A and B are shown apart, each in its own frame.
Chain A
Amino acid sequence: MTIADLGTARFSELPASQAFSQQQGKASLNRLPPELPERQSLSGLTEGFWHKYAGRLWLSYATDMMDVDIIPSFTAGIVRLRGETTLQTRGAVLSQNRDLLAAIRSRALKLLEDSHRGAMTIRSLGGDYDIDICVRPSLPEKPPYVSIIRAFIDEDKLAAARKLLATAISEGERGMEIETLQTVLALPKVRPSTKTDAKRDKEYQWLQRFAAAHRGKWVAISGEELVAEGHSLKELRAKLAGLALAKPPLVHFIS
């Protein structure tokens, strides 16, 4: 357990609350720093987990838990939501602990500022005690979308690649590489067509009977007839160009 001095408060890093509960059970309260005059919890998950151990007053990071990154140096729960860190405090009990809140807020913001080297804004959500503190990084901290999407494609994870591409575009990613990925991952525009092919039963019969004698050749078959063959497709095409055929032949390489 690591404890960072926060002035009039202390900042404790704790393991995942569920693990903490399983390992410590009811005795877990005794493992929290006993010298804390008030216990606050900072949780990147929900408001409830640590609060049950920490007491009445809590400080939590509000997030929908989607697309969040846990900042390693603050494993107790500072979370980053797409580059924006939100520290939310709430609860009427804060009215009884304004000094403490101020101290915590001040120190936490300093930590966040140092961590992100970004600008900070503080806004009130209404009332005196509900305050959102947002630290916005001055530089964009977007994931390397293109390289991740390319990695997904290399691993043939098309659904993941498409999903991340949509996210990247929604977050303003642009450029030639994004356009290329859009093109490659685009879904084909399927449409019916009335142009059909001839029935090919006779061509299939020819293949079954005679293919073995033409291994290594490109063949063009029409009905039961071999109309041309060649050692390469180019040679076959050249031969076909000189023929007047009633219907396009089936072209195939016999391996």
Chain B
Amino acid sequence: MLKLDGADFTIGRAKFFDDPPGGGEPTAKVFIRIVLEGQDTPIFAQLDTGSPWSILAREHAEELGLLGNADGMEKNLSTREGMKAGRLVKVSLTIPADEDEGQSLDIPEATVFVSEDWPVGRSFIGYGGLIELIRIGLDPQENYFYFGPNGLGEQHPE
């Protein structure tokens, strides 16, 4: 894994996808895989350091029972899709390393934005409350996404 001054900088890596799946994006984006709590099927989430919050696709939020209840906090989020009314809720997720490519990263109780009004199937990993707590690195030549804890959040080694 990546090292900085001889110490581990990241703990795992996974291939990201930069060819917009399905052509929904006009330009290349970094899509990483995440696995949501209680599930085993990975899904894509677009890495977006410019997004203040992570956003979970409506359908996944619905599966997890995060829509239509009073959990969390109301929030209006300004997006390029316009202003979206939703809630900030907690969800646990994993950024999985590829097999034999180091360790994965569990992020319990991450704060994400969910909205009934959000476009189908689009999830984002944003800066606030998520990227800010991990170290990341990109290798665009090999399409590897490197990640590791940065020590800001409380860590619980297995």
Contact = CB atoms under 8 A, between A and B. Distances in A.
A93 interface: no
Contacts of B152: 187
Interface residues of B, number: 66
B22 A214 contact: yes
Contact of A194 (B22, B104, B134): B104
Interface string A167-201: 00000000000001101111111111111111111
B29 interface: no
Interface string B101-136: 111111111110000000111100000111001100
Interface stretch (A17-25, A69-77, A78-86, A152-160): A152-160
A137 to B, nearest CB: 31
Contacts of B134: 190
Interface in B51-73: 52-53, 57, 59-60, 62-63, 72-73
B80 interface: no
A199 B41 CA distance: 13
Contact of B155 (A154, A191, A249): A191
B121 to A, nearest CB: 3
Interface string A224-255: 00000000111001001000000011111111
B104 A158 contact: no
Interface string B76-103: 1010000000001010001011111111
Contact of B22 (A181, A189, A201, A212): A212
B104 A195 contact: yes
**Per DSSP, are chain A's interface residues mostly helix, strand or loop, or mixed?**
mixed
B43 interface: yes
A201 B19 CA distance: 12
B153 interface: yes
A197 B94 CA distance: 10
Interface residues of A, number: 48
Contacts of A183: 72, 90
Of B59, B133, B152, chain A has the most CB atoms within 10 Å of the CB of B59
Contacts of B110: 188
A253 B121 CA distance: 5
Contacts of A187: 129, 133, 152-154
A96 interface: no
A190 B107 contact: yes
Contacts, number: 181
Interface string B6-50: 000001101101010111100000000101000011111000000
A188 B153 contact: yes
Given A153-B73, A193-B94, A215 B22 contact: yes
A195 B11 CA distance: 13
A214 B99 CA distance: 28
A193 B105 contact: yes
A197 B106 contact: no
B59 A233 contact: yes
Nearest to B128: A158
A154 B75 contact: yes
Given A188-B129, A207-B19, 13 more contacts: A156-B53, A158-B129, A183-B72, A189-B156, A190-B107, A191-B149, A192-B104, A193-B94, A193-B106, A197-B14, A199-B98, A214-B22, A233-B121
29 contacts: A150-B73, A154-B75, A158-B128, A184-B111, A187-B129, A188-B108, A188-B111, A189-B107, A189-B108, A189-B155, A190-B154, A191-B157, A192-B157, A193-B106, A195-B94, A196-B96, A196-B100, A196-B101, A197-B33, A197-B97, A204-B19, A207-B21, A208-B19, A218-B59, A233-B60, A248-B40, A248-B42, A252-B43, A253-B57
Closest 5 CB pairs of A and B: A253-B121, A255-B24, A254-B22, A197-B96, A156-B52
